[in-house]
């Protein structure tokens, strides 16, 4: 059986900059390298990676698993990268004799010499356009619909995004395929590691709620902080732990924490190493995830796999990911969030039930299954159009 040769465009993936799409893309490709595939059914697929110059040092195992072509150094600048995708990448794909190029970053270049697939992580720029700069908003509104129309297939991470693409972009349903994230089995966290993390952040012996999110506007930290203020007013022990980097909503969040006099009850860790992140998960009372928009919501899945109860927003992809294993609330129901946190503080039996359901739900996500779905998409897109 003839192999399908697919180029994977990772020129957009500057490590540490692009958020959850980085985790998904890297883990999916690692799973693809080690997948168990029945070639008699799906046929062999060969990948060639085209990567940002910074990627090999951060993900050496990934680039060791596939033939890899490093883009020119100036590709790390967004404007230059867009130009190089239509020039350098197009020529490289042709010279490599590729059948397809998979653009995992949400858009395809304007000029292409090889048919393509595109992964759409979400359509937030079309739902909340005011969350994006004028330049980025204009670029995405011009390129995403064109990319979706011209792609052989569109890949999405959730059925929510799949339906959104179909309805919002007017795409035939059979051209939009689902390749959800999988889940790596979390490694056991040593007690000493947990104790060090709790001591470092002043959490020893105290219950706490965890929200791992960059301070983007749609992450809705404000509602969570105001709800937590209600909890803190009647419960002197609980803390709120906010991990993640800084974005446009940071100044307002800092001001809100100060206004509510929560400086000694809200812990801001910034970005933390993976081992410390796992340690903070290990002792959390619950994950609180009030985001107004998620194309998937990986932290919710990670929490369930780590035995943490979940309170999450009842919108976008989050109910789909939770699958009935968590508490769902309107993201702007401040009183509802306060009541839910208070309830879990005082009801360990209910919390245990959520943890058990979460474990079962998380077990349904497997990276090998995701890799097989991707291989199937490549085989389908590589067939000549009738």
Task: Clarify whether residues 32 and 59 are in a common domain.
Answer: yes
3-class DSSP string for the chain: CCCEEEEEEECCCCCCCCCHHHHHHHHHHHHHHHCCCCHHHHCCEEEEEEECCCHHHHCHHHHHHCCEEECCHHHHCHHHHHHHHHCHHHHHHHHCCCCEEEECCCCCCCCCCCCEEEEECCCHHHHCHHHCCHHHHHHHHHHHHHHHHHCCEEEECCHHHHHHHHHHHCCCHHHEEECCCCCCCCCCCCHHHHHHHHHHCCCCCCCEEEEECCCCHHHCHHHHHHHHHHHHHHCCCCEEEEECCCCCCHHHHHHHHHHCCCCCCEEEEECCCHHHHHHHHHHCCEEEECCCCCCCCHHHHHHHHCCCCEEEECCCCHHHHHCCCCEEECCCCHHHHHHHHHHHHCCHHHHHHHHHHHHHHHCCCCHHHHHHHHHHHHHHHCCCCC
Task: Clarify whether residues 176 and 258 are in a common domain.
Answer: no
With cut-offs at 50, 70 and 90, classify the pLDDT of residue 18. Answer: confident
Task: Clarify whether residues 158 and 203 are in a common domain.
Answer: no
User: Could you tell me if residue 386 is inside a domain?
Assistant: no
CATH number (domain holding residue 317)? 3.40.50.2000
User: Could you tell me if residue 258 is inside a domain?
Assistant: yes
Task: Clarify whether residues 197 and 340 are in a common domain.
Answer: yes
pLDDT at 336 over 90: yes
User: Could you tell me if residue 62 is inside a domain?
Assistant: yes
User: Could you tell me if residue 251 is inside a domain?
Assistant: yes
Task: Clarify whether residues 125 and 236 are in a common domain.
Answer: no
Model confidence over 176-216: pLDDT tens digits?
999 999 998 888 899 999 999 999 999 999 999 999 999 99
Task: Clarify whether residues 131 and 227 are in a common domain.
Answer: no
Model confidence over 250-292: pLDDT tens digits?
999 999 999 999 999 999 999 888 889 999 999 999 999 999 9
Structural domain for 306, as ranges:
191-362
Task: Clarify whether residues 137 and 267 are in a common domain.
Answer: no
pLDDT confidence of residue 127: 93
Q: What is the pTM of this model?
A: 0.90
Query: Averaged over 353-369, what is the pLDDT?
Result: 96
Query: Averaged over 343-372, what is the pLDDT?
Result: 95
Task: Clarify whether residues 325 and 278 are in a common domain.
Answer: yes
pLDDT confidence of residue 384: 55
């Amino acid at each position: 059986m003839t192999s399908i040769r697919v180029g994977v465009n990772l020129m957009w993936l500057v490590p540490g900059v692009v958020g959850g799409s980085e985790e998904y893309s890297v883990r999916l490709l690692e799973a693809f390298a080690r997948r168990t595939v029945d070639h008699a059914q799906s046929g062999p697929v060969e990948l060639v990676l085209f990567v940002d110059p910074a990627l090999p040092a951060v993900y050496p195992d990934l680039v060791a698993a596939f033939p890899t072509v490093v883009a020119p150094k100036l590709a790390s600048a967004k404007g230059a990268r867009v130009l190089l995708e239509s020039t350098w990448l197009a020529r490289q794909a042709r010279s490599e004799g590729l059948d397809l190029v998979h653009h995992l970053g949400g858009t395809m270049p304007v000029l292409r010499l090889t048919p393509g697939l595109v992964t759409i992580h979400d359509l937030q720029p079309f739902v909340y356009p005011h969350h994006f700069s004028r330049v980025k908003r204009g670029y995405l509104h011009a390129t995403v619909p064109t990319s979706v129309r011209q792609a052989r297939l569109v890949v999405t991470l959730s059925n929510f995004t799949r339906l959104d693409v179909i309805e919002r972009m007017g795409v035939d349903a059979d051209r939009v395929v689902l390749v959800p994230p999988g889940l790596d089995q979390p490694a056991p966290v040593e007690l000493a590691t947990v104790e060090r993390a709790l001591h470092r952040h002043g959490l020893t012996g105290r219950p706490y709620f965890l929200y791992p999110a960059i301070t983007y506007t749609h992450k809705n930290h404000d509602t969570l902080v105001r709800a937590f203020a209600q909890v803190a007013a009647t419960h002197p022990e609980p803390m709120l732990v906010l991990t993640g980097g800084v974005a446009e909503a940071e100044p307002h969040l800092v001001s809100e924490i100060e206004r509510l006099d929560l400086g000694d009850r809200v812990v801001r860790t910034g970005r933390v190493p993976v081992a410390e992140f796992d340690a903070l998960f290990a002792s959390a009372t619950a994950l609180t995830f009030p985001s107004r928009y998620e194309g998937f919501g990986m932290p919710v899945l990670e929490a369930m796999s780590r035995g943490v109860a979940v309170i999450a927003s009842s919108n976008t992809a989050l109910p789909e990911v939770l699958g009935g294993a968590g508490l769902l609330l309107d993201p702007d129901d401040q009183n509802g969030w306060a009541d839910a946190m208070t309830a879990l503080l005082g009801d360990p039996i209910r919390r245990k039930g959520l943890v058990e359901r979460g474990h079962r739900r998380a077990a349904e996500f497997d990276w090998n299954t995701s890799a097989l779905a991707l291989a199937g998409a490549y085989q389908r897109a590589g067939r000549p159009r009738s």
